[in-house]
Amino acid sequence: MKILVPVKRVVDYNVKVRVKADGTGVETAGVKMSMNPFDEIAVEEAVRLKEKGVATEIVAVSLGVAACQETIRTALAMGADRGILVETEVELQPLAVAKLLQALVAKEQPGLVIMGKQAIDDDMNATGQMLAALLGWPQGTFASKLAIDGATATVTREVDGGLETVALALPAVVTADLRLNEPRYASLPNIMKARKKAIETVKPADLGVDPAPRLTLVSVAEPAKRKAGVRVASVAELVAKLRNEAKVI
């Protein structure tokens, strides 16, 4: 079985995000970029399935500027077999990403798509669901456990009330949650090998998709700073402050 794993290039999770002075977006110039953490988990799960003999090939896919090749190389160093870059300077939104992935699925014919449940830059949490809808495939979102048995994928997913287990007929789309696994560190030999693995580059037009944005970003601003907390000496004082100052009761 072939597994397709989309990986996104985002501002590294250790970096403090700064808003541009003109409020048009987040500052990325001179900022460390890395693979979206949830996508790392998806790559790790695909590699584990290959190690178990369930998968035969892992294809890492990234969409965006040429620098996204670095993200693909990271996936290759973790254990993916080859990469595909859909190169574009257009700011990609979830629907456009889903349509581009739909075209790649039609081309590659994978038995499973594993992707992060969301990206830490926009927190949209929409691409996996949109892709499943476009493909007409079953979906297992927020997966904390995944098991493949023949033509069935069993997904344990995290929901508000606890855990829910669903059985999906393959092919399917699975989105990875935080507790699915612990991603491995790429070893130096694997990093060196990743440099020799193939990365195919295509354009959105080659896939017959128009990636033009459908949403307009109005402005980006820092969240309002919170006032310092205060200690109260008694329940009566707390109630008084909630009633007279905060006016919430």
Q: Model confidence over 177-215: pLDDT tens digits?
A: 999 999 998 889 999 999 889 899 999 999 999 999 988
Among 31, 34, 35, which residue's Cα sits nearest to residue 18?
31
In a domain, 249, yes or no: no
What is the number of structural domains in the chain? 1
The single-letter code of the amino acid at 24 is: T
Domain that holds residue 92: 2-244
d(CA 190, CA 78): 7
How do strand 139-149 and strand 152-159 relate by DSSP bridges? antiparallel
Q: Model confidence over 148-163: pLDDT tens digits?
A: 999 999 999 988 888 9
In a domain, 175, yes or no: yes
In a domain, 178, yes or no: yes
**Is the previous residue joined to 110 through a cis bond, with omega within 30 degrees of 0?**
no
Which of these ranges, 28-32, 62-66, 237-241, has the smallest mean pLDDT?
A: 28-32
> In 10 A of CB 239, how many CB atoms?
12
* Contact between residue 202 and residue 85 where contact means Cβ atoms under 8 Å apart: yes
Is pLDDT at 222 greater than 90 in this prediction?
Answer: no
In a domain, 63, yes or no: yes
What's the pLDDT score for residue 170?
96
In a domain, 189, yes or no: yes
Residue with tokens 């069935």: 152
Q: What is the pTM assigned to this prediction? A: 0.86
Question: Residue 71 sits in a domain of what CATH number?
Answer: 3.40.50.620
Percentage above 70 pLDDT, the chain: 100
219: confidence class by pLDDT, cuts 50, 70, 90: confident
d(CA 193, CA 20): 38
